[in-house]
Structure 1
Amino acid sequence: MQSYVFLLPILALLTLGAMTPGPSFLLVAQTAMSHSRTQAFSVALGMGTGALIFALLASFGLVTLFETVPELYLTFKLLGGLYLCVLACRIWKQGEQPRVQAVAAGKTQSVHSSFFYGLTTQLSNPKTAMVFSSVFAALLPAEVPSLTPVLLSLGVFLTNFGWYAIVAVLLSTERAQNLYLKAKKGFCRVAGTLLGLFGAKLLMSTSADL
């Protein structure tokens, strides 16, 4: 396994990137505090799966495809920006729900829909694939063992899922949920606004590229 040691700094760098607050972190945090630990884990699993998909695509030349067909990249950015804006509106509206209604809504949301939210949020930003590809290109040696794409993608999944699972555990405690209920409206406003800004940034960058 010593021949794969070069993967460690790549995974460490990408893990630091995942730990940077963004749409993925906001969704896991909001789910953990307003719903249940199981649903937050499902979101985290969706995040990890989305990262795995992007890592696999990056390993097999997604950037080359984007450069060859720029319209495809612009379409990804447009759809991703729209999705984040819709998600922002949904979280903003949750701030208007009474506490009892919000808790009840959290209990009825399925783990499948939570997984889907995590997956689509992770996949909503094609720049993630660009970051993966850039890091791979910069840090991978010229000659790599044959299993490198598989092991690298698996490592990306484990580090992303692991980080968001930690967030889910820490923020799904009774104390965290009580604090959330007290400040639910403000938290939903902040989370919704930030997600909306992320979505608007994608849309604006798409317009600039047209």
Structure 2
Amino acid sequence: MTMLATLFAIATALLVGAASPGPSFLLVSHLAMTRSRKAGLMAALGMGTGGLVFALLALAGLATLITQFGWLHRLLQIAGGLYLVSMAWRLWRGASQPIEQQMQGEMPASLARTYGTACLTQISNPKTAIVYASIFAALLPFRPDQMLVLLLPGVVFLVEAGWYALVALVFSAPMPRRAYLAARKPLDRLAALVLAGLGLRLVIEGVRT
């Protein structure tokens, strides 16, 4: 398989994973609808950075350590699950606040927090690191070319950031935004329950394994 074919295969596999609904999708779409397109795009950059972290970990072989050391895997699962539960609690409380209050704070510091929150959300699930390691192990040649190794993190960033930028653009459009505002409170509560469920599942799996 040529270098371009390998990069395309890995990018396709990662895109399928990124498009699966989860905490990252919920966060980006929610920010795009409640705050602004700019906030959604900043979150997309955070998601891309989180994907870049996973790519570097996988290339360095550190993701393998997660599978070899059970206690580390459990610790990361519990920490990531608790983070998602705390995010769900903030979303549940914010559902009853006026929308104007949630849309305040478009200063750079606020956008920086948006970026940081998105990045933490992306890396809160250690299983994603294992997925990256599995994809790389399956699709990378035994001795990959140096140029391939150098290009791969950038491709990963573009796939993750590009997908979530598309999500931000779609959900910040007038029609989805109006539909969300018309049923904001129940939708926010539902999103909070989904996040809490995902977080609790991570915690329970971390405790049981």
Q: 1:55 deviation in Å?
A: 0.7
Map 1:39-50; keep pairs closer than 5 Å: 39-50=39-50
Shift of residue 107 of structure 1? 4.5
Equivalent positions of 1:140-155 (< 5 A) are 140-155=140-155
Root-mean-square deviation (Å): 1.6
Residue identity opposite 1:21 in structure 2: P
SS at match of 1:5: helix
Instruction: Show CA shifts across 1:144-170 (max 9, x none).
Output: 101323311111110110000011011
Aligned equivalents of 2:205, 2:151: Cα separation in 1: 33
Q: Which residue identity does 1:174 align to in structure 2?
A: P
What is the distance in 2 between the residues matched to 1:84 and 1:157? 22
Deviation at 1:78, TM superposition (A): 1.0
Query: For residue 155 of structure 2, what is the amino acid of its counterpart?
Result: G
- In structure 2, stretches of 5+ residues that fail to align are none
Q: Is it true that 1:177 corresponds to 2:177 in the alignment?
A: yes
The corresponding residue for 1:53 is 53
Q: Give structure 1 stretches of 5+ with no counterpart.
A: none
After superposition, what is the alpha-carbon deviation per residue over 1:123-163, rounded to whole angstroms, capped at 9, x for unaligned? Answer: 10011100000111112122210132331111111011000
My pick for the range that moved more, 23-32 or 107-116, is: 107-116
* CA distance in 2 between partners of 1:150 and 1:52 (Å): 12
Following TM superposition, where does structure 1 have runs of at least 4 consecutive aligned residues deviating by more than 6 angstroms? none
Q: What do the CA deviations read for 1:49-84 (whole angstroms, capped 9, x no partner)? A: 000000110111123322443322221111100000
Q: What is the correspondence of 1:79-158 to structure 2 with a 5 Å cutoff?
A: 79-103=79-103, 105=104, 107=106, 110-158=110-158
User: Displacement of 1:98 after TM fit?
Assistant: 2.5
Counterpart of 1:33 in 2: which secondary structure?
helix
Conserved? CA contact 1:4–1:145, under 8 Å: no
Q: Distance in 2 between matches of 1:146 and 1:107?
A: 41
Partners in 2 of 1:71 and 1:30 — Cα distance? 34
With the length of structure 2 as denominator, give the TM-score of the two structures: 0.93
Corresponding residue of 2:31: 31
Look up the match of 1:74: 74
Match of 1:11 in 2: 11
The amino acid of 2:28's aligned partner reads V
How many residues were matched structurally? 207
Tell me how far apart the structure 2 counterparts of residues 55 and 87 of structure 1 sit (CA, whole Å): 25
Q: Is the 8 A contact 1:29 1:171 kept in 2?
A: yes
Query: Residue 38 of structure 1 aligns to which amino acid in structure 2?
Result: K
Structure 1 residues 26-67: Cα deviation after superposition (integer angstroms, max 9, x where no partner): 000000000011111111100000000001101111233224
| TM-score, normalised relative to structure 1 | 0.92
Which amino acid letter does the alignment assign opposite residue 178 of structure 2? N
Instruction: Using the aligned pairs only, state the percent identity.
Output: 41
The code of the aligned residue for 1:86 comes to: S
